[in-house]
Structure 1
């Protein structure tokens, strides 16, 4: 091959070489291939390391490559593409797949035609955004989903759908939305950046240059949507919202209106069939009138008729008209829509009516049969049967992958009204209290699976041991799926004065929270638990939970100012009750906040004080805390150029690990020991003691691999590769290549460091040959 001397894995270098060989400027190649100049520049600089297959094919054609060269270029691009996550739970891409299209979709022909024109004329460097707006019940989501399916052939690089929950009390934050989008692109949880801006930057870099279709459903405002929009590339984004989102600039707008009368009749015809409509043509028109030509109302009426194939349309018209006269106005729409809801509701069996209205009390966007059963005071099997019945009637929507259900917004409002009308506050509060108690007991038992100090092999304390999660993976899946429910339960327990329950749940969550630092909810969890400790007059527990809260401010919401204030409060509480362990943690969390605020010397001083405080204690918890503090202190010292001091600190950490910590699992101590070895190896490398650094880094890497911790093994492999390069070791290139690929799969920022090291190694090899 003519370019065979180039490393097959480095796409940017290969592309730059091939363009130079062809005598083309970036502008000329951009014009010939239909790829933007910016996208080309990002590829050649290594910012975009894995363009999609279609983009590579266009570049290969424009460069005049033969089949072998084109295949080699594609292979190098494939190495840089994000790899799918390896978690055992549902894969993120399936969770963001387009919802199922509605086969009986009707009308909206001009709006669909306009979107098809936009997709056909889209420019390679200018993404298109269309905002679909209109009143509730107009079928904005149905239109956007139908349009997305029609547009799929124009966007072969991916189609993603994300519900932003704009009508919920707590809409999806841009930060969480970006995490889900990055997950759908194959980025693992550990590799997703911490800050919203960094997540947005990574998202835009990954979709730039790709033909991607993005559906953002149920947006609340411009600030929620803007960070999610691609910045460059031939993508198309559909945004649905009840609000106009007038602050979004350079977007196309599609304002849906009510159906025309004939369109409403056509929708009814597609649902129940032409024979029934022809047999009662006037009744069909009257039914469309009573539904106010609102698609949602027509669909509900049609679903009811479909489930009663022998019922005459005229009978439904008469009953709907009578119901409408008795109801007051609907604040979210017309009187006739309210009547359609009411008639469908009244026709349900009593248990199904109870289930529907009580399910509206569930927190979050969707709910499980488990939650519905608790709220309605039914067995689990009965709840499943009721939920499926309501789904068949068009009153609930079922999840495509999980056994979960959701309301349309208007129906949820209507069902909640029925709780007030039929159940009253006493029954409503009893249902919420019953559900909250159960949820907190299950959440506490599930979270204890992750507590290394109180590891459980059985569902201790679970309200339903037979149905409890049986291991960490099941426990994590439950805690994530039911996050809205147990958090709402925690709020209710706190607000109603059940402070011991709040503290027990938050304490159980403490280890689990480390696995989900991207959840901003931890601030609320630990704020409430600290308040509960204060209400109970427990100074020691207040110190503990203030420390947890300082951690959350530091790492979950990146607010070092409040983290420092909270850590200082924890320090006062710890000293007041004489708890040296919590005093050490408070000093450590305060040091972390000071470091983030740029107050380096103060951070060093606090870490040293924390180490002295913890060294004087004998408990196993103090030893683990001391290891964390020492490793943090040494790392900061090395960054400040005080490497000899850092090495002494990390040697001290290693000695503690070798001595062992009574009552703590060997595998846990082995991980702390591996961290210390990695730090020692980096200290020795910084001192130029390369041959001494190598064995420490090899040992650390082996330990991380044995523990199946790729997020820790990748950086350790890079550290080892840098040392091997410095010593001229023959394994250097292989190690750096493996590190680069592993870091790229994690979207770890250090992948650029690996790429630079590889390039320097190749350049040195070329000079030695010449």
Structure 2
């Protein structure tokens, strides 16, 4: 957070109230915290080097300014940590603890390090500790729910510093330096009010101002709301607000009392929008979210949200697109009002409108990338102008900025259990948008989580077809990341679900994938058996190209097992299938693989003839790289047969082909080397 950031949980203010906001007060606390950084730890005093990072704890109730103090401390000492500052929020807006694995993944992403999709929490935290072991970083952990969350993320590096923000002690973490916050000092509290009201209204009645500070108990969040209330009513005296708070009695906290007063004086439409913001995923709001929740125009929603920022009810997020955040200290108050003043049916309808708007925005986000598709262009033009993105870059930026709230929306929709149809549509469109703009590989961690949510809904609703699809998607990621045993279990579960759904695609895909998992595990007999089961289904459905491909997978299993005769028979069956289907490129590759098996079987003359035939088919397919690879294999075979002159000719032909093809494909030398290896395994597994 920069010095200009807004934080109504602390004493930093929005630019709506001041041109150059800066941190207020807490001089003593800052001095003590900085001294704690320098102070020797218990391990150092006992003569041992500290095994882990020093932990400073800033404890206080929500609204006490704990986050603002932590950010100011970070700003003051950041230059001591040359490897930078990392931030993680460990609590959702509703107080739900963030899973440690998700927090570790976000921190690894901030370090631009890989985060394998579906990785276990222990693996992610171990990777984070390894990444920080040789670095000197400052780690800010905000809204920590308990010591276990913080402990799991602590670097094993004594040169690092961890600043944790929590409501209470972190019992169980050794040598924690706590700093417990109360209210602001009177001078700082009055300066905070002055930024909203101007100096005149404070100086003309200093006692009333001090009384207002006392009513707010010096809590920055309560004072911020009080200042916003006074700024919106320039003719009201400070004493008027103090009297109203006193007349309200002592029911609730100072923050809740000022909030009730602020909410009560809002226009009815604005008050309703405020209450419905409790439904915003992850507490993140944009004009579209507010518009859908309240059923108003996007322009009206944005104006209202800006008004809320001026009143201290929302925090404006530093973003290229208008985005706001519900302060954590205010979220419970928003939620309580929503449940007491809105009917459950109205809340459900508002949630459904928000999810429907999100689905349509995701459709538009994906459609802008499909400019070559006439149908997609027509659908895009049929959408309201407010839902259309001007360029693919604008859509990608929106997706990147809104990613946390979109993922939170999917999690909340699934947890709700009453909007499963919308939840399924939302997750489907989110997957497509991520693939279109980010790519399958880069978005894999998010896609893995989404497929897990799809599985939850499918199991809850008994949707066997969707359950099979989700299990296949999850298993594919497990297989790609080396968790082959886990993948195998999921492929088998997908097979059962596919059979229950009577879905031939899912069952065939699952059987083949089970075979692929066994192949990866080195169980070649089971691999060939499962490929054979999948083949039988393809043949029964007269799917010749797929059947030919499965013959190739069976041949690969036999080849690994050293059963070269069976492998050759399977490749010849694959060749017959490709020939009937007219697939020239696949026919050429199948011939090249048959030649490889013949070479393994000790039949170089047959391998040479098959390679020469494969070259002709590769030429017909215009596959230059395959032709080059085959010429190199022919050269190796000729050398083995004692004809080095012919071998040199074929090697020269391969080099010329690769040299001519390299500029067109921008191939690197490493890529050229890999061109000689022709894989028979399917990319699906």
TM-score by length of 2: 0.70
Partner of 2:29: 111
Deviates more, 1:464-473 or 1:396-405: 464-473
Structure 2 residue 535 is the aligned partner of structure 1 residue 608: no
Q: Secondary structure at the match of 1:409?
A: coil
Query: 2 CA distance for matches of 1:192 and 1:139?
Result: 36
Using the TM superposition, give the Cα deviation of residue 158 of structure 1 relative to its aligned residue in structure 2, in angstroms. 1.3
Using the TM superposition, give the Cα deviation of residue 218 of structure 1 relative to its aligned residue in structure 2, in angstroms. 1.3
Q: Secondary structure at the match of 2:150?
A: helix
**Where does 1:617-628 land on structure 2 (aligned, <5 Å)?**
none
Per-residue CA deviations over 1:99-151 (Å, capped at 9, x if unaligned) read 83834433322331233235557999853222222222111111111111111
Q: In the superposition, relative to structure 1, how do residues 696 and 337 fare at CA in structure 2: closer, same or farther (>3 Å)? A: farther
**Where does 1:316-355 land on structure 2 (aligned, <5 Å)?**
316-322=241-247, 324-325=248-249, 329-330=251-252, 334=253, 336-355=254-273
Q: What count of residue pairs does the alignment treat as equivalent?
A: 596
Partner of 1:482: 406
8 A Cα contact 2:359 2:425, kept in partner: no
Per-residue CA deviations over 1:596-652 (Å, capped at 9, x if unaligned) read 9x68457625652465246527688x9679969977995x999x7869799989989
Per-residue CA deviations over 1:670-706 (Å, capped at 9, x if unaligned) read 9xx99x999x99x999x9x995499999999999999
Partner of 2:506: 582
Structure 2 residue 450 is the aligned partner of structure 1 residue 521: yes
Partner of 1:736: none
Q: In the superposition, relative to structure 1, how do residues 658 and 350 fare at CA in structure 2: closer, same or farther (>3 Å)? A: farther
Q: In the superposition, relative to structure 1, how do residues 304 and 234 fare at CA in structure 2: closer, same or farther (>3 Å)? A: same
8 A Cα contact 1:441 1:462, kept in partner: no
Q: In the superposition, relative to structure 1, how do residues 194 and 425 fare at CA in structure 2: closer, same or farther (>3 Å)? A: closer
Partner of 1:80: none
Query: 1 CA distance for matches of 2:86 and 2:152?
Result: 16
Query: 1 CA distance for matches of 2:660 and 2:100?
Result: 38
Q: In the superposition, relative to structure 1, how do residues 229 and 192 fare at CA in structure 2: closer, same or farther (>3 Å)? A: farther
Q: 1:208 aligns with which of 109, 123, 133?
A: 133
8 A Cα contact 2:225 2:262, kept in partner: yes
Q: Secondary structure at the match of 2:444?
A: coil
Q: In the superposition, relative to structure 1, how do residues 608 and 292 fare at CA in structure 2: closer, same or farther (>3 Å)? A: same
Structure 2 residue 354 is the aligned partner of structure 1 residue 435: yes
Structure 2 residue 141 is the aligned partner of structure 1 residue 141: no
Partner of 1:85: none
Query: 2 CA distance for matches of 1:379 and 1:660?
Result: 60
Partner of 1:73: none
Query: 2 CA distance for matches of 1:438 and 1:231?
Result: 45
Using the TM superposition, give the Cα deviation of residue 152 of structure 1 relative to its aligned residue in structure 2, in angstroms. 1.9
Q: 2:5 aligns with which of 90, 94, 100?
A: 100
Query: 2 CA distance for matches of 1:629 and 1:313?
Result: 84
Q: In the superposition, relative to structure 1, how do residues 209 and 274 fare at CA in structure 2: closer, same or farther (>3 Å)? A: farther
Q: 2:204 aligns with which of 273, 279, 285?
A: 279
Over the aligned positions, Cα root-mean-square deviation in angstroms equals 5.4
Deviates more, 1:573-582 or 1:646-655: 646-655
Query: 1 CA distance for matches of 2:554 and 2:128?
Result: 30
Q: In the superposition, relative to structure 1, how do residues 286 and 575 fare at CA in structure 2: closer, same or farther (>3 Å)? A: closer
Q: 2:337 aligns with which of 401, 418, 439?
A: 418
8 A Cα contact 2:118 2:477, kept in partner: no
Q: 2:388 aligns with which of 437, 447, 468?
A: 468
8 A Cα contact 1:677 1:697, kept in partner: no
8 A Cα contact 1:526 1:549, kept in partner: no
| Gap runs ≥5 in structure 2 | 7-11, 13-20, 41-48, 603-628, 637-650, 678-685
Q: In the superposition, relative to structure 1, how do residues 389 and 294 fare at CA in structure 2: closer, same or farther (>3 Å)? A: same
| Gap runs ≥5 in structure 1 | 1-95, 725-770
Using the TM superposition, give the Cα deviation of residue 400 of structure 1 relative to its aligned residue in structure 2, in angstroms. 0.3
Query: 2 CA distance for matches of 1:99 and 1:365?
Result: 20
Q: In the superposition, relative to structure 1, how do residues 282 and 178 fare at CA in structure 2: closer, same or farther (>3 Å)? A: same
Using the TM superposition, give the Cα deviation of residue 197 of structure 1 relative to its aligned residue in structure 2, in angstroms. 3.9
Q: In the superposition, relative to structure 1, how do residues 577 and 143 fare at CA in structure 2: closer, same or farther (>3 Å)? A: closer
8 A Cα contact 2:368 2:389, kept in partner: no
TM-score by length of 1: 0.63
Deviates more, 1:297-306 or 1:563-572: 563-572
Using the TM superposition, give the Cα deviation of residue 317 of structure 1 relative to its aligned residue in structure 2, in angstroms. 0.9
Q: In the superposition, relative to structure 1, how do residues 154 and 651 fare at CA in structure 2: closer, same or farther (>3 Å)? A: farther
Q: In the superposition, relative to structure 1, how do residues 154 and 396 fare at CA in structure 2: closer, same or farther (>3 Å)? A: same
Structure 2 residue 334 is the aligned partner of structure 1 residue 387: no
Using the TM superposition, give the Cα deviation of residue 246 of structure 1 relative to its aligned residue in structure 2, in angstroms. 1.5
Query: 2 CA distance for matches of 1:633 and 1:368?
Result: 56
8 A Cα contact 1:677 1:696, kept in partner: no
Structure 2 residue 170 is the aligned partner of structure 1 residue 245: yes
